[in-house]
Structure 1
Amino acid sequence: MGVTGATGQLTRIISQRRSHRRQWRILECLAMVLLDATLVAISFYLAYLIRFQLLFESPWLDRLRRALTDASPSHATFIPLDKLTEMQAGIVIGAIVIFAVRGLYRLRLTGTWFRQMWTITSSATIGMAFLITYYFVFQPTANSRLLVPFVWAISIVLLCLGRLIASAIMGTLYQLGLGETRVLVVGSGRLAKMIMQHVAANPSLGYSIVGFLHDLENAPGDFGRFKMLGTLDDLGMAIRSMQVDEVIIALPSHLHEQVIRTVRLCERLGTSFKLIPDLYELSLSRIDMESIEGIPLIGIKQSSLNRWQRAVTRAVDIVVSSLILLLGAPLWLCIALAIRLDSPGSVIYKSTRIGLNGKPFQMYKFRSMYQNADQMLTALLDRNEAQGPLFKMRSDPRITRVGRLLRKLSLDEIPQFINVLKGEMSLVGPRPALPREVAQYEEWQKGRLAIKPGISGLWQVRGRSDLSFDEGVLLDLYYIENWSLRLYFQILLSTIPAVIFRRGAY
């Protein structure tokens, strides 16, 4: 009886959570509809001011007005705003209908801004075409042809800005735990790690991974912050106990029977699910999906890093590094003096690191440890607080007083801008690895050597030493596989608050 009561209570909790989640999605959708309607109405009003205030009353624009409206000053007709109320209402309602038909309100607000921008632009263009057709066919008495393109242009700008702001707000709410989607990953191989890598790299998407189920004979244990909740046979229990909103099935192709069984169990429990196809270990970020009459076609995108993009990033690397080294020269000299006065040894510490395609190079840093730090490492290995091949200690006795301050402020890494100027590093990229670390890499971890190491990267801006080694490698691989100029600059800008708030710096 007690077990039955507990099961019933758990079922009610899950049902209530799903109900709250549906209500949140409905509220989110209604809020966006209201926001879009308001912005389209404002766009109409601004277009009216431009058309009947700026162009109508300004003498210096009279020639432009006549050229666009084919009217002379004496025949120009002023239309009061209240005469265009029906037109304004029609545009607002029509815009919302077109947006809904084209699926704008089904898109997730965070992570799809460019797709939303394209949908808004194309939908506004369709709406303008309908409006022009209406004018041509019915020729209403109160109309203004010049008003239409103004409404079209202003509405696109305001709606795109509105979506960008809404996306930022929703991303913040998701990170605070409001409206997040609780996800269970089924699988523990490369595919499962890939989805966990994307979630770790994009916390604003609103997905919270409650854990994963392993598909191997030997249980792999926890994967960084992600908890191993059991085997595939524990799916039902995990869904109920962890209040799962969505299941992501990331099983290899040879486990197709388990995939089918997992899908059927999700359907039976009423839990939504998504399938990740196992495409022979290809990077899913390079998959290009099309369809012909409902038949899915899968292609492979070419590498996104072309010569032009390489030239842009290299130019930014050189300009930014030069400015930091030159403008901050007085501060760097003061740091060098403090290091020399604090402890004996050279000011600059040279360390052999592994760079692009496994090529070693000498990386420069301000010395933050005592001279014999490398010899002391052997005695401290049993006190290592990091996972994998890394060595980390919060209270490392090898760090000097000045060095501890430099590390907290990330100032010890300033000389690495010299490596950037030499072309051995970039401003953004994977953390430069030591040779002994690379010697312990698993095969999939070696993929982080495919591009130049960087001073900053996703690993650094998402938590640095607070993340496990495997999580950091996944973030590096995410950056490599999803490289774009947008992501490059996004990480570059995110480095500033990461340094200021000193997340994971020790």
Structure 2
Amino acid sequence: MLLDHSTTGPGTAAAALPVPRTPVDAARPLRSVRRVPARRWAGRYSAALHALDVLAAVLATGAVLLAGSSPLTAGSPLVPTAAALVVAWPLLLLGTGAHEERVFGTGSDEYRRVGRAGFLLLALAALVSFAGQLELSRALVLLAVPALTVLTLAGRVAARCVLRRLRARGACTKRVLVVGRAGAVVDLATAVGREGYAGLRVVGACVTPDGRARVADALAVPVGGLDDVAAMAARLDADTVAVTSASETAAEYLRRLSWQLEGTGIELLVAPGLIEVAGPRLHIRPFEGLPLLSVEQPRFEGWGRLVKGGVDRAVAGTALLLLTPLLLALALAVRLDSAGPVLYRQERVGVNGRRFTMLKFRSMVVDADRQVAALQAENISDGLLFKMRTDPRVTRVGRWLRRLSLDELPQLLNVLGGSMSLVGPRPPLPREVARYDSSVSRRLLVRPGLTGLWQISGRSDLSWEEAVRLDLRYVENWSLALDALIVAKTFRAVLSRSGAY
């Protein structure tokens, strides 16, 4: 169970939950709720991972043995050593929790456990060799262990892709009953539905009486009261009960609810009310036995930013050198296709509100900006942006450039100059920034990016609210690892052409 003691202000959607009126005997769990059976997909998925783990170990050790210079004989210590590695590897993965259902498809947490198993295997081999005074092959241990770790990670990535596709179709999911006040329940259920690959499916809700009609209309699921959680979870065959963020006054409710669910096999989760804050910023801190959720402040300075700036300039400079022939060819195509300059220059707002000139290959006619007012009726954006699926101002070459995002390559010069970063929020126009509220203005705390969460999540198909949410998530949870992940996913997003128009 995840513990949460985050506080919220009065009148928020995550206000205190009332204590249930029905008394519960704390000494014994509510046995009338039947145990939820384990989902078959989790067992099959774990078995498939075991097969991939053993295959990775066999391939890695076999390749090292075949490539070795020493001949394999009946008395050679290489064969039993290789066999021991094959046997030990799946067991270590089990020990590090790489086969726990809650990490399936999560990505970084699952990969971290595989890496931990690799380090443990190296340490175990060194310990056994020293303690038993064995002459283990250094080449076998030092080459096979990293190789099988990499192969296992590759297998996990492939399995995760398959699992996400299955979850997108509604398979391999957990049935979730959401509990709390109406506003917080709708927000949490919306977030769960938006992140479909997370494998959670809301099947019901339990809310206060005044919010039942609202939740039923918004979510189209069965709705019950706060006293009906255990019985409703059993009736809906729920795997998980998710309680929305609550203040200290609801501690008694959570304690009694945990007693009711004890022995049923139903997982109890507590949403911290900080959906956009995640990763290394959230920690459970015990104070005199009381678990508190610690939320670290986002860091916008320090060595990480220096490394990010150095990587940005190095990658941008290298990319400009390597892509020079392509850039020249694109410039020639733009010049021959329509009259006007090759590069389109536009004032944008960067970090801390500083303005800069952003460069792009021109993909529209020269007077495109002056035609916006005449085309306003065709605007499909629900926010501050102007978007059209079929924009008559786009040139023939420009439409092709936009589909492959090649029109944005000159922004590498902005990255090299320091006004932009490889990864960051979308660079806004001054007229957009003039209409920002205090929360949206947090997008300006970091440099805008050539790519970002918005780029890999749908680009122009995103609503204004969704684009802002993704930018703020990046600002709140920035890390070098997140940047690397976004860059890797950008190539897939560009090739898929999703949201490019």
Normalised TM-score (structure 2): 0.71
Aligned 8 A contact 1:426 1:455 in 2: yes
1:494 corresponds to 2:483: no
Instruction: Quote the Cα distance in structure 2 between the aligned partners of 1:129 and 1:325.
Output: 46
Equivalent position of 2:46 in the other structure: 29
Q: Which has the larger radius of gyration?
A: 1
Equivalent position of 1:100 in the other structure: 94
Instruction: Quote the Cα distance in structure 2 between the aligned partners of 1:396 and 1:434.
Output: 19
1:250 to 244, 263, 269: 244
1:433 to 428, 440, 443: 428
Equivalent position of 2:346 in the other structure: 351
Equivalent position of 1:406 in the other structure: 401
Instruction: Quote the Cα distance in structure 2 between the aligned partners of 1:190 and 1:349.
Output: 45
Which residue identity lines up with residue 44 of structure 2 in the other structure? Answer: L
Aligned-pair CA distance for 1:26 = 1.3
In the superposition, relative to structure 1, how do residues 249 and 443 fare at CA in structure 2: closer, same or farther (>3 Å)?
farther
Q: How does 1:438-457 map to 2 (within 5 A)?
A: 438-457=433-452
1:117 to 96, 114, 117: 114
In the superposition, relative to structure 1, how do residues 415 and 232 fare at CA in structure 2: closer, same or farther (>3 Å)?
farther
In the superposition, relative to structure 1, how do residues 362 and 249 fare at CA in structure 2: closer, same or farther (>3 Å)?
farther
Aligned-pair CA distance for 1:420 = 1.8
Instruction: Quote the Cα distance in structure 2 between the aligned partners of 1:266 and 1:369.
Output: 63
* Cα displacement string for residues 450-506 of structure 1 (whole angstroms, at most 9, x for unaligned residues): 211111112112221122222222322332333222221222232223222211100
Aligned 8 A contact 1:36 1:96 in 2: yes
Which residue identity lines up with residue 283 of structure 2 in the other structure? Answer: D
Aligned 8 A contact 1:186 1:192 in 2: no
In the superposition, relative to structure 1, how do residues 372 and 129 fare at CA in structure 2: closer, same or farther (>3 Å)?
closer
1:180 corresponds to 2:175: no
Aligned-pair CA distance for 1:415 = 2.8
Equivalent position of 2:20 in the other structure: none
Aligned 8 A contact 1:190 1:281 in 2: no
Aligned 8 A contact 1:246 1:271 in 2: yes
Aligned 8 A contact 1:94 1:127 in 2: no
Instruction: Quote the Cα distance in structure 2 between the aligned partners of 1:313 and 1:118.
Output: 24
Equivalent position of 1:66 in the other structure: none
Instruction: Quote the Cα distance in structure 2 between the aligned partners of 1:407 and 1:364.
Output: 14
Aligned-pair CA distance for 1:429 = 0.9
Equivalent position of 1:277 in the other structure: 272
Equivalent position of 1:6 in the other structure: none
Aligned 8 A contact 1:104 1:119 in 2: no
Equivalent position of 1:11 in the other structure: none
Instruction: Quote the Cα distance in structure 1 between the aligned partners of 2:237 and 2:391.
Output: 41
Aligned-pair CA distance for 1:275 = 0.9
Instruction: Quote the Cα distance in structure 2 between the aligned partners of 1:124 and 1:114.
Output: 15
Q: Which moved more, 1:240-249 or 1:387-396?
A: 240-249
2:146 to 139, 149, 157: 157
Aligned 8 A contact 1:285 1:481 in 2: no
Aligned-pair CA distance for 1:296 = 3.6
1:470 to 465, 469, 494: 465
The runs of 5 or more residues in structure 1 that have no matched partner are 1-14, 58-77, 136-143
Aligned 8 A contact 2:98 2:114 in 1: no
Aligned 8 A contact 2:96 2:117 in 1: no
In the superposition, relative to structure 1, how do residues 155 and 82 fare at CA in structure 2: closer, same or farther (>3 Å)?
closer
Structure 2 residue matching 1:147: 3-state secondary structure? coil
Which residue identity lines up with residue 120 of structure 1 in the other structure? Answer: A
Structure 1 residue matching 2:498: 3-state secondary structure? coil
Aligned-pair CA distance for 1:397 = 2.8
Aligned-pair CA distance for 1:393 = 1.4
* Cα displacement string for residues 82-141 of structure 1 (whole angstroms, at most 9, x for unaligned residues): 9975x7766655655554344342262431244213430454256447745873xxxxxx
In the superposition, relative to structure 1, how do residues 426 and 265 fare at CA in structure 2: closer, same or farther (>3 Å)?
same
Which residue identity lines up with residue 105 of structure 1 in the other structure? Answer: H
Aligned-pair CA distance for 1:370 = 3.3
Aligned-pair CA distance for 1:306 = 5.5
Structure 2 residue matching 1:317: 3-state secondary structure? helix
In the superposition, relative to structure 1, how do residues 294 and 97 fare at CA in structure 2: closer, same or farther (>3 Å)?
farther
Aligned-pair CA distance for 1:353 = 1.9
In the superposition, relative to structure 1, how do residues 376 and 279 fare at CA in structure 2: closer, same or farther (>3 Å)?
closer
Aligned-pair CA distance for 1:272 = 3.1
1 or 2, which has the higher helix percentage? 1
Computed over aligned residues only, the root mean square deviation of the Cα atoms, in angstroms, reads: 4.8
* Cα displacement string for residues 421-463 of structure 1 (whole angstroms, at most 9, x for unaligned residues): 2211111111111233334444433322221111111211222
Equivalent position of 2:371 in the other structure: 376
Which residue identity lines up with residue 145 of structure 1 in the other structure? Answer: L
In the superposition, relative to structure 1, how do residues 49 and 398 fare at CA in structure 2: closer, same or farther (>3 Å)?
closer
Aligned 8 A contact 1:113 1:164 in 2: no
Aligned-pair CA distance for 1:192 = 8.2
Structure 2 residue matching 1:361: 3-state secondary structure? strand
Instruction: Quote the Cα distance in structure 1 between the aligned partners of 2:184 and 2:445.
Output: 18
The runs of 5 or more residues in structure 2 that have no matched partner are 1-33
Which residue identity lines up with residue 117 of structure 1 in the other structure? Answer: V
Q: How does 1:230-309 map to 2 (within 5 A)?
A: 233=224, 245-253=239-247, 256=250, 260=254, 263=257, 267=261, 271-278=266-273, 285-289=280-284, 296=291, 298-301=293-296, 303=298, 307-309=302-304
Instruction: Quote the Cα distance in structure 2 between the aligned partners of 1:263 and 1:276.
Output: 15
Q: Which moved more, 1:423-432 or 1:306-315?
A: 306-315
Structure 1 residue matching 2:103: 3-state secondary structure? coil
Aligned 8 A contact 1:29 1:105 in 2: yes
Instruction: Quote the Cα distance in structure 2 between the aligned partners of 1:232 and 1:254.
Output: 25
Instruction: Quote the Cα distance in structure 2 between the aligned partners of 1:254 and 1:280.
Output: 19
Which residue identity lines up with residue 24 of structure 1 in the other structure? Answer: W
Normalised TM-score (structure 1): 0.70
Identity of aligned residues (%): 33
Aligned-pair CA distance for 1:330 = 5.2
* Cα displacement string for residues 31-70 of structure 1 (whole angstroms, at most 9, x for unaligned residues): 33344445556666677778xx74689xxxxxxxxxxxxx
Structure 2 residue matching 1:105: 3-state secondary structure? coil
Number of matched residues? 451
Aligned 8 A contact 1:430 1:457 in 2: yes
Equivalent position of 1:367 in the other structure: 362
Q: Which moved more, 1:254-263 or 1:373-382?
A: 254-263
Structure 2 residue matching 1:402: 3-state secondary structure? helix
Aligned 8 A contact 1:197 1:475 in 2: no
Equivalent position of 2:12 in the other structure: none
Aligned-pair CA distance for 1:177 = 1.4
Aligned 8 A contact 1:356 1:453 in 2: yes
Aligned 8 A contact 2:348 2:429 in 1: yes
Aligned-pair CA distance for 1:257 = 8.0
Which residue identity lines up with residue 250 of structure 1 in the other structure? Answer: T
In the superposition, relative to structure 1, how do residues 93 and 212 fare at CA in structure 2: closer, same or farther (>3 Å)?
same
Structure 2 residue matching 1:177: 3-state secondary structure? helix
Aligned-pair CA distance for 1:165 = 1.5
Instruction: Quote the Cα distance in structure 1 between the aligned partners of 2:55 and 2:166.
Output: 28
Equivalent position of 2:158 in the other structure: 169
Which residue identity lines up with residue 251 of structure 1 in the other structure? Answer: S
